[in-house]
Amino acid sequence: MTNRLKDLLVEPAQRPTASAVKPEKDAMKRSRKPVTTHLSRRQRARQKTVAILPSMLTLGNLLCGFTSVFLASRPENMDLPWGWTPLTFAGVFVFLGMVFDAFDGSVARLTHNTSELGEQLDSMADMVTFGVAPAFIVVQLIGVEVPFISEVSDAYLDRAAMVIAGIYVCCVALRLARFNTEIDEPDEADHMSFKGLPSPGAAGTVVSLILLHQHFFAHLDEHHLFIRATAVSMVGIMLLVALAMVSNLRYPHFVNRYFRGRAKFGKFALALMLVMLLFIWPQHSIAGAFVIYALFTPVTWGLSHLMRKKNKHQTATSDADPSNMDGE
């Protein structure tokens, strides 16, 4: 006899009533509730520490930008360690901010503490360290006084430098805002390239060249024609990288594309050579790396555009050539 027939033959008195079934359902619902575990005070403190670690790294990036601006505003003849100038220390703090910026996102993903608040805080810190600080360093390098206001020191070069510095700061803000709105998935492995030059790359290009300039010419006569020309050229470089940030050119993410996961022997040897060059010629290596990265995409785009134009011209010429037509 099947179970269905057994249920039909059960007398009504023996069947469970609705009032008896309801407490059983309530007990089942209560049993589905997650079991809360009681953590010790040390474990709760450890969880809070891990949660705030990414934000602390981001704030470290912000403080590096603030320190860079402060050091760049100091007089040039200050007696500082290792014979460095205030602009040299200002540039070093920009690169130190890059280190904090590189680790805050990775730590947030590893500890599963990514949030929209952290993303917005990261953009604000990048705005100071990679936007305001490099522009202010360039302005201090040229020696801009008080353009548009002062009647005594209102040179056209100072006006141009201030305008281009403002354009650079605005382009950094636009670049960061576009990045926040276009990236749907915050996972680092999901984007192998960037639309436009990243703000750390733009800041690194400008600041690394200033570090190289200070390395060679800091203790020489700043009124020398060549030294003055190299300082003024930083304004043009700042304008070019500002336009590259808001362009639609695709810049590769070299770390994710070439050095993520199991590295091959060739990649490992290349990374080792770069580290060796960094220790032997630090200023030259950093400046060369950032300049090559900033020029990589525009140069490849220009070459590919010329090749397409050349192939199109050759195709049109071959189609118009009478010798290629079938004769009788």
How does pLDDT run across 165-185, given as a tens digit for each residue? 999 999 999 999 998 887 655
Residue 239 has pLDDT above 50, yes or no: yes
Report the chain's terminal Cα–Cα distance, integer Å: 96
Domain assignment present for 126: yes
Left (φ > 0), alpha (ψ -120 to 50) or beta: where does 143 sit? left
Q: What is the mean pLDDT of residues 93-119?
A: 86
Confidence of residue 152 (pLDDT cuts 50, 70, 90): low
pLDDT score of 17: 55
Domain span at residue 94 reads: 41-307
Q: Name the burial class of residue 85, with classes exposed (0-12), middle (13-18) and buried (19+) by CB atoms within 10 angstroms of its CB.
A: buried
* Residue 195, helix vs strand vs coil: strand
Least confident among 36-50, 158-172, 173-187, 225-239: 36-50
Secondary structure (DSSP) of 15-39: SPPHHHHHHHHHHHHHHHSPPPP--
Distance CA 188, CA 253 (A): 10
Residue 190 has pLDDT above 50, yes or no: no
Least confident among 10-19, 39-48, 105-114, 251-260: 10-19
Residue 107 has pLDDT above 90, yes or no: no
Domain assignment present for 7: no
pLDDT score of 274: 81
Which pTM was predicted? 0.77
Domain assignment present for 266: yes
41 or 300: which leads in pLDDT: 300
Distance CA 310, CA 138 (A): 40
Q: Which tokens is 74 given?
A: 């100091």
Domain assignment present for 78: yes
Using alpha carbons, list the distances in angstroms from residue 153 to 147, 165, 236: 7, 18, 21
pLDDT score of 327: 47
Q: Which tokens is 286 given?
A: 């950093």
Domain assignment present for 207: yes
Distance CA 41, CA 150 (A): 62
The dihedral of CA 97, 253, 131, 227: what is its sign? positive
Give the percent of the chain with pLDDT over 90. Answer: 38
Using alpha carbons, list the distances in angstroms from residue 73 to 85, 204, 281: 11, 19, 27
Domain assignment present for 325: no
Domain assignment present for 3: no
pLDDT score of 15: 52
Residue 171 belongs to a domain with what CATH number? 1.20.120.1760
User: Considering its fold, how many domains does the chain have in total?
Assistant: 1
Q: What single-letter DSSP state applies at residue 132?
A: I
pLDDT score of 241: 96
Distance CA 51, CA 48 (A): 5
Domain assignment present for 15: no
Distance CA 67, CA 286 (A): 21
With contact defined as beta carbons under 8 Å apart, do 90 and 68 qualify?
yes
Q: What is the mean pLDDT of residues 244-255?
A: 86
32 or 55: which leads in pLDDT: 55
